[in-house]
Amino acid sequence: MPSPLSPSEVKAALHERLDMFLAGCDQVTEQSKFGQTFNDLEKFFIHDGRRFMQKALELKLQEHIDRIEATDEAKQCPKCEKKTTSVNRKSKMLLSVYGALQSFRRRRKCASCKSSSFSVDAILGLPKRYSEGLKERVAHNIALSSYRSTIKTLKLYLGFGLSPTTIGEIADETASEMEARLKSNPNVRKDFQAATGETEVQIDGTCINTRNAEGKQECRDVKIAAAIKRECGESATASEWDTRKLPEPNAVYAVAAIEEKEKFQDRVQEMRRFLGIGGITSALADGAVWIWSLIFFVFGKASECLDIYHAVENISALGKSLYGSGKKFDDWLDRMRLVLLSEGLEGMVRELELLKRDLKPDDCKGVNSLLEYLRKNAGRLTYSERLAAGRAIGSGLIEGCCKNLIGKRLKQTKACWRVPRANKIAIICAIMYSNQWEQAWHNSS
């Protein structure tokens, strides 16, 4: 085991390595072919520059460890604050963005409380195994791509790869830490409260393949809820519904998990309290009963809106069963969509009852089913009023989270998740979608 280096010895070692690095740089320049000098230099700096930074960080870290261990603070027991004695000197390996770093620090024992510890670990904040920089980069990658792709990306940008097992360990550890940092960060609540606009809630879910305790595959819903602050847009008519532009949200906070409705309801309730949300202006979702029940239980009475795309999807399904595809279907769907947007339930009942007069009894079953669906959501079809007020009528934000982030990440081909691991990935994805990555990593004080 190497002896501690003095500051002058560390400085000399760094100068020696820097001289070797610069000499290598000159050699690359001299040996480069015509027109290749810049590319060769860049490759050299990427490869050898990483190795130089790795050794420099390792040497400077050891220098700080040796200096701190000589102080009275490091010789004091962290539990009872009594004086400790040195037992031995052990090595510690940790993985950073510059690669593996080895350090040596002293284990000290307290005669008073009989405990032993590496006091310098706490004083300098030495990670248990992985550096914060490495964990952030791994978390960012696994929120967007598979383990295999993450391994390739890290190899490209950091110069070394990680095993799938290590990536999974980092995901589990990092998700919990990110979530805890957000919850302990008062700025998250302050920012949400300070954001202008109406408070809106959107809830949805997306089904993924999971493996249960018996090892059997089963589909489970990742439930997702988002609290949004958004300004109202300009007033619009029913014919302008798909061309108007709503303002972007000024604040978004999302939560996601695979769990039963009651537990997820508790999670959303915790989100409401954390953000300091009293009442909400509006809530958007598809027609799932559990969602409306959850919204009412957590947020109380609000202006509920059935996502226009889900409503039109049900209307479209009826039209295809009656007309197939083609111009007749397209014209019918366009007209029914305009009736729904401008007149709501009243207009749809009129049109569908008229439609039934020309249909056979068997064909009326689909019409009756659609009427039942719309009547169950009677108070959520106030599209013309919401358009006039400049409010959203589609849950596009939560749909985007379901399809383009969480769904895209967890529903990859042949992917089959254990629920605990899937929930960790879902946490990271939700934080990324909430645009709170910086708060989860760099503004936790």
**DSSP track, 131-169:** -HHHHHHHHHHHTTS-HHHHHHHHHHHHS----HHHHHH
Residue 444 has pLDDT above 60, yes or no: no
Distance of CA 433 to the CA centre of its chain: 5
DSSP letters spanning 91-128: EEEEEETTEEEEEEEEEEEETTT--EE-HHHHHHT--S
**Is 237 found in the same domain as 297?**
yes
Neighbour order of strands in the sheet with 99-110:
84-96, 99-110, 116-117
pLDDT in tens, 422-442: 999 999 989 988 888 999 997
Determine the Cα–Cα distance for residues 233 and 248; give it in Å rounded to an integer: 10
What was the pLDDT predicted at 20? Answer: 94
Cα dist from 96 to 139, 406, 437, whole Å:
14, 27, 20
Say if CB 285 and CB 202 are below 8 A apart.
Answer: yes
Residue 197 DSSP class: S
pLDDT at 96 over 80: yes
Cα separation of 12 and 182, whole Å? 43
What pLDDT, on the 0 to 100 scale, is given for residue 404?
A: 64
Tell me how long the chain is: 445
44 & 104 share domain: yes
Take residue 176 and report the two structure tokens written for it: 């919990």
pLDDT tens figures, 328-353: 999 999 999 999 999 999 999 999 99
Question: Does a structural domain hold residue 88?
Answer: yes
- Look at residues 88, 113, 129 and tell me which one is the last residue of a structural domain: 129
- Tens of pLDDT, residues 381-415: 999 999 999 999 987 777 666 666 777 788 776 78
Closest CA to 260 of 230, 233, 293: 293
Which pair of tokens denotes residue 343? 């007149």
Rounded to an integer, what distance in angstroms lies between the CA atom of residue 84 and that of residue 159?
41
What pLDDT does residue 175 have? Answer: 95
Domain assignment present for residue 252? The answer is yes
Of the candidates 110, 25, 100, which has an alpha carbon nearest to the alpha carbon of residue 61? Answer: 100
In a domain, 194, yes or no: yes
Cα(286)–Cα(305) distance, rounded to whole angstroms?
A: 8
What's the gap between Cα 174 and its chain centre?
11
Q: In terms of domains, do 227 and 266 share one?
A: yes
**DSSP at 2:** P
Per-residue pLDDT reduced to its tens digit, 187-239: 999 999 999 999 999 998 888 899 988 888 999 989 999 999 999 999 999 99
Mean pLDDT, the chain, rounded, equals: 91
Token output for 148: 């295999």
Are 427 and 342 within one domain?
Answer: no
User: Is the pLDDT assigned to residue 358 strictly greater than 90?
Assistant: no
Rounded Cα distance, 10 and 62, in Å: 9
Q: Write the CB contacts of 214 (distance below 8 Å, at least 6 apart in sequence).
A: none
User: Any bridge partners for residue 93, and if so which?
Assistant: 102
2-6, 136-140, 191-195, 322-326, range with the lowest pLDDT: 2-6
Q: How far apart are the first and last CA of the chain?
A: 38
- Of 129, 149, 167, the last residue of a domain is 129
pLDDT of amino acid 394: 86
* pLDDT value, residue 389: 95
**Cross-strand bridge partners of residue 226:** 202, 254
> Do the Cβ atoms of 139 and 170 come closer than 8 Å?
yes
Instruction: State yes or no: pLDDT of 59 exceeds 90.
Output: yes
**Residue 170 in domain:** no
- DSSP class of residue 403 equals I
Find where tokens 């645009």 sit. 435
Distances (CA, A) of 98 to 72, 130, 393: 32, 11, 48
Q: Which of 80, 79, 81, 100 is nearest to 91 (CA)?
A: 100
212 and 320 belong to one structural domain: no
**Could you tell me the CATH number of the domain that includes residue 269?**
3.30.420
Whether residue 162 is contained in a domain is answered as no
The predicted-structure confidence for 246-291, as pLDDT tens digits, reads as follows 999 999 999 999 999 999 999 999 999 999 998 899 999 987 899 9
| 282 shares its domain with 399 | yes
Q: Is 215 inside any structural domain?
A: yes
Residue 445 pLDDT greater than 60, yes or no: no
Distance from chain centroid for Cα 77: 39
Q: Is residue 150 part of a domain?
A: no
Are 288 and 405 in a shared domain? yes
Residues 186, 293: one domain? yes
Contact 336, 319 (CB under 8 A): yes
424 and 292 within one domain: yes
Is 289 in the same domain as 356?
no
Convert the pLDDT of each residue in 287-319 to its tens digit: 789 999 999 999 999 999 999 999 999 999 999
| CA distance linking residue 370 with residue 364, whole number of Å | 10
**Structural domain ending residue among the three candidates 129, 148, 166:** 129
| pLDDT score, position 401 | 64
Per residue in 133-168, pLDDT (tens digit) is: 999 999 999 988 888 999 999 999 999 989 999 999
Does residue 142 sit within a domain? no
CA angle 69, 70, 72 (to 5 degrees): 90
Determine the Cα–Cα distance for residues 276 and 73; give it in Å rounded to an integer: 41
48 shares a domain with 33: yes
Range of the domain at 293: 181-307+394-441
Total tally of structural domains belonging to the chain: 3
Strand ranges for 158-235 from DSSP E: 198-211, 217-230
Nearest to 244 by CA among 402, 400, 386: 386
- 35 and 115 part of one domain: yes
